[in-house]
Amino acid sequence: MKKFVLVLLLSVVLFFTFLGQTTVFQVAEARNAECAKEMLENDNWVVPTFNGELRTDKPALEYFGMILAYLMFGVNETAARFFSALCGVLVVLATFWFTRRHWGEKAALWASLVLLSSLHVILQFRLATPDPYLILCHTLSLYLFYEGWVSRKWKWFAGMYVFLGLGILAKGPVGLLLPSLTVGIFLLVTKAFNWKNIVLLKPWWGTFIVLFFSLPWYWAVDVQTGGQWTRGFFLEHNLDRFNNGLQGHGGPFILTVAFILAGMLPFSVFAVRALRAVWKNRKEDRLLVFALVAVGVVAVFYAFSHTKLINYTSPAYPFFAILLGYFISNLIEGRFSNRKLLIEFSIIAVLALGIPVGVYFIAENTPPLETVRWIAWCLVPFPVGAVFAVFYMRQSVQKGLLAVAGTFMVSTLIFFGGPFHIINHQSPIEKYHELVSAHPNVVAYKDFDNAFAFYAQRPIPVFQTEKELEAYLAQHKNVLVLTRDHDLSYMDTIPNIKRVGIDHDLFSRRMTGVYHEIE
């Protein structure tokens, strides 16, 4: 019980602390948060819109979560991210519960610490995106399947079907496809794919439950948009992304494996040792096979996709953490050899040293962050703690591993409390969102940073020609004009406006310009 409480406290601190400290400057966050805000304002929980126009990118589960949080806490950044963070807490706790049922508390604790030590895991569950909802549904559906398969009790399968339906509502077909492939391949490799087990799953009742939780909204949005949302989502945002890819988001077949390893640092440095141990013991424990299949399905599925993003492979994280937790707990107990562990600990130390160094050089060469490159010093706890971990490892493997976990959790908390907040302050969104929020008349010319839509009090009209903009300015007073491009010199030709400011967008070559009409 003490270990469970510890994991709960660590999860709450890491996922919720400083949650609303930054603006929704990230594009996906901005669009999702604004879409939910407009659905609430329009009193329409069916049709998603962004800046007054139909948005076909994502299904509704994340919007439902944000709307509920807006009703509880008001429309703000914390509310937009609240249920994402809660999903993170639930994933970690579910992983602890599931691992403890099969391998005991020590393995459960280490599986949880592996997740909580990953900077990318913490970041993933602190964003207003659909991925936290999908990861939760994916993880719980598979945990519940395995419980049902072991116990032969259908109540677990019923829970699995609930989360499969919610997974479809979270991110579409992958919410059903990835868990189904995992279950199917697991049954095949364990030679359990037979009629008796199919009957045990009761797929006829399962189909009803899945459709009950997913179909009503899909049907309603299809009817209310005349099929436009359905075509846009399934054809453009699913088939086209898988078959053709998004520009700049391709990569080699093996890239998805690299994503999983990078996303699960620091403990993924033990991946080779862990997978070797898992493979040797696979016949003794079916859970090892199940977790290995769950990781492999995600990696291979997205390896075939022409769009490759690191967040796509994040549903594999809990199952990879289970495998690492199994390995680490047995390593500490002396069941696995700890020879040459200094190699992995040294890699962790080098990687930890590379974090502040990398942040310094990225900031140095990334406008507008060159003025705050000193934030790299805030991340010195990464290498300092890693060096202590190497020192403790010589005394005790467990102490060394705990030092690694503690170092990365504390340093991650420092990152979100300091550098991440400072980086946000260099964003045009942070500089001008209050001006946009307070201004009664905001328009855009050619393009604008979508995050401003979240802070505007109404949809922002976008004009594509100078003639349209000048006509609007002639008919309205006190107009604030937003624009975004690599070169904003074209704004100098537009009469009756003055510059408020021009700033580099974060992690982009484009710049945001803010102009005010001359009265």
pLDDT-derived band of residue 456, with 50, 70 and 90 as boundaries? very high
Do 399 and 445 belong together in one domain? no
Domain span holding position 188: 2-251
Is residue 247 predicted with pLDDT exceeding 60?
no
Is residue 342 predicted with pLDDT exceeding 90?
no
Do 377 and 442 belong together in one domain? no
Do 191 and 66 belong together in one domain? yes
Nearest to 311 by CA among 135, 93, 109: 135
pLDDT digits (tens, 9 = 90+) for 468-485: 999 999 999 899 999 999
Q: How far apart are CA 262 and CA 440, in angstroms?
A: 45
Q: How far apart are CA 208 and CA 361, in angstroms?
A: 54
- Within a 10 A sphere around the Cβ of 308, how many other Cβ atoms? 21
- pTM (two decimals): 0.96
335 Cβ partners below 8 Å, 6+ apart? none
From 213, 229, 251, the end of a domain falls on: 251
pLDDT digits (tens, 9 = 90+) for 213-236: 999 999 999 999 999 999 999 888
From 425, 455, 472, the end of a domain falls on: 425
Tell me the DSSP string of 65-123.
Answer: HHHHHHHHH-SSHHHHHHHHHHHHHHHHHHHHHHHHHHH-HHHHHHHHHHHHT-HHHHH
Q: Is 59 helix (H, G, I), strand (E, B) or coil?
A: coil
What pLDDT is recorded for position 380?
Answer: 94
- Within a 10 A sphere around the Cβ of 404, how many other Cβ atoms? 27
The answer to whether position 80 is within a domain reads yes
What would the two tokens of residue 24 be? 């929704």
Name the domain count of the chain: 3
CA distances from 339 to 153, 273, 344 (A): 43, 11, 11
Q: How far apart are CA 279 and CA 281, in angstroms?
A: 5
Region of 384 on the Ramachandran plot (φ > 0 left; ψ -120 to 50 alpha; else beta) = alpha
The answer to whether position 271 is within a domain reads no
Task: Return the DSSP state at 310.
Answer: G
Unique residue bearing structure tokens 């846009």: 232
Tell me the DSSP string of 369-391.
Answer: GGGGGGGGGGGTHHHHHHHHHHH
Segments in 190-249 forming alpha helices (H) = 195-201, 203-224, 228-231, 241-243
Do 411 and 347 belong together in one domain? yes
φ/ψ (deg, to 5) at 514: -125, 125
φ/ψ (deg, to 5) at 500: -90, -40
Do 389 and 444 belong together in one domain? no
pLDDT-derived band of residue 1, with 50, 70 and 90 as boundaries? confident
